[in-house]
Amino acid sequence: MKSREEKLPITSFDAGEVGIFGDVLTREPTRRRPQIGFLALGYFEYWRMYPELEHQVRADLQAASERLAQALPECDLVFPGMVDTLDRAEEAGELFRQAQVAAIVVMAGTYLPDFITMHAINKCASRPMIILFNSQTGNDVNPADDYVATMRNSALIAITQLSGSFRKMKLDYDTVVSEASDLRAYQEIASLLRAGNAVKALRASTYGLIGHVFRGMYDLEFDRSKVKGFLGPEVMTIQAEHLLELWRETSEKDCEQDAEALEKRFKSKNIKSSDVLASLRLGLAMRRLYKKFNLDGLCFLGQHYIEKVCAAPARMGASKLMEEDGFMVSCEGDIGGLVMMDLLYKFTGNQPFQAEWGQFDLANNALFLLGHGIGAPQLAKNDDEVLLTGSPEEWGFEGSGLNYELILKPGEVTMGHFLNLGDSYQMLISRGESIAYPRLPCNELHAMIRVKSEVRQYLKELINVGCAHHVVLAAGDAWRELQKTAELMRIKTVVVE
């Protein structure tokens, strides 16, 4: 019996709709939770000398594995138990290899010669991310400690020995130092692992680009090979006609229930039901497009052509995909912004906001940031603070369009973006505090962000280092994760606070 592939011709997705696409994933790829190895060390020589020590160290390492697992709810922890002999290292390494661990956290309960530790690590088929966790059972030295107690806290010997060997072998690693029960250490480890997992996911991602970078926005222009080589995703150009074909197959009747729910959920001003239906119809076509091509993100230039044909801006479609699917969408050909949206969503779990630098506000030592319709209602304090409005810009479509008017809820935020420097990229990292401020009647998403330094000095430094006119922000602290991500991407960071 012939397979499906044998029955249908294989064509390029640009060539036509008949057959199977040879240059697009036609089946949704398998998604797998990150597997993290925990390599917990003890030394067999000590057990015969100090029989009570083995039980203590084993309990210490078991407790650490439980704390680490709690800090990594999005991962599976692969813990083979204490490794104290070469045979146990062989078993642990084989378990790590079979699990295809993305990273290994190394924690020593006592000293252990580095060749045993390296044996377990070298069993892995690919070089995983390594974190050396130097720990002890208290923050201070106890004057009453005997020799056995000092052996229980001899991890520093093992970890420094590993660091020297790794440096000699030109192997990369990260280091965390803390008392073993301090939960902040496990959160630090988790943030490093989140960065590693995010970079790995980006390298397996495909972003769809409809249109091109908005004409004249040289700061957003990009080289696909540099995006792939440094930031990670494949950028796939999708003709506007692919979207419009799905739009033609979609009717406003398909959206009536969703439109009714949307109008019940939010207060509105100056919009008609026809504007709501038109925007939701385009949004539904966008959803069908990304699912058809198994995309991991979407970047579009809606102005002029798409908006005119569909009689609606793509703003609401982008917002719905972000809110309901956790699928990131950016505009104006801003691929770097899309990567930053993806990262901030992964690191904080909060909806990102693609904005543009606006004005400074001396009274609040703050920056006013104005959106471009790319954000979800969760940016606001609650649904009562969100207004359904028309689009603030009209690019050839009839009617008022559809958008959210809201101001970002108060709280800590992380901000960032990328700038293509030709030979590489630079990552901008900043942070601030979204403050309570009256919502402006501007038919747009916006925010008021207080910064640490004097706001005019902040902008002077921002302009001096060079940045894109877009900025992406999200509630929460992703500072450590972004810095590690830039390191893994092999790009430099510029920090403005």
pLDDT value of residue 1: 46
Rounded to whole angstroms, the Cα distance separating 93 from 68 reads 19
Burial class (CB in 10 A: 0-12, 13-18, 19+), 429: buried
Low-confidence ranges of the chain (pLDDT < 50): 1
| Phi, psi torsion values for 216, nearest 5 degrees | 90, -5
Residues of the chain with CATH 3.20.14: 205-496
Encode burial over 268-293: b for 16+ CB neighbours within 10 A, e otherwise. Answer: beebeeebbbbbbbbbbbbbbbbebb
CATH 3.40.50.10940 location in the chain: 35-202
What is the reported pLDDT for 306? Answer: 83
Output the pLDDT for position 373. 79
Beta carbons within 10 angstroms of residue 353's beta carbon: 29
Considering the domain 35-202 in this protein, what is its CATH number?
3.40.50.10940
Average model confidence (pLDDT) for the chain?
A: 91
Strand-pair partners of 475: 413
- What six digits make up the tokens of 326? 């956790």
CA–CA gap between residue 495 and residue 465 (Å, rounded): 9
Alpha carbon distance 331, 338 (integer Å): 8
What does the pLDDT read at residue 400?
83
Distance from C-alpha of 8 to C-alpha of 2, rounded to nearest angstrom: 10
| Four-residue CA torsion sign, 83, 86, 88, 94 | positive
What are the strands of the beta sheet with 297-300, ordered from one edge? Answer: 234-238, 206-210, 297-300, 329-331
First to last CA, the chain: 65
Taking alpha carbons only, the member of 202, 295, 210, 220 closest to residue 244 is 210
- If you count DSSP H runs as helices and E runs as strands, how many of each does the chain have, helices first? 17, 21
**Domain 205-496: top CATH class:** alpha beta
What is the per-residue pLDDT for 397?
75
The three-state secondary structure class of 196 is helix
Sign of CA dihedral 302, 306, 311, 315: negative
Q: Model's pTM, two decimal places? A: 0.90
Residue with tokens 């995006």: 227
Residues 6+ away with beta carbon under 8 Å from 348: 414, 474, 475, 476, 477, 478
How far CA 53 is from CA of 2, 150, 178, 320, 325, in Å, comes to 64, 11, 21, 57, 51
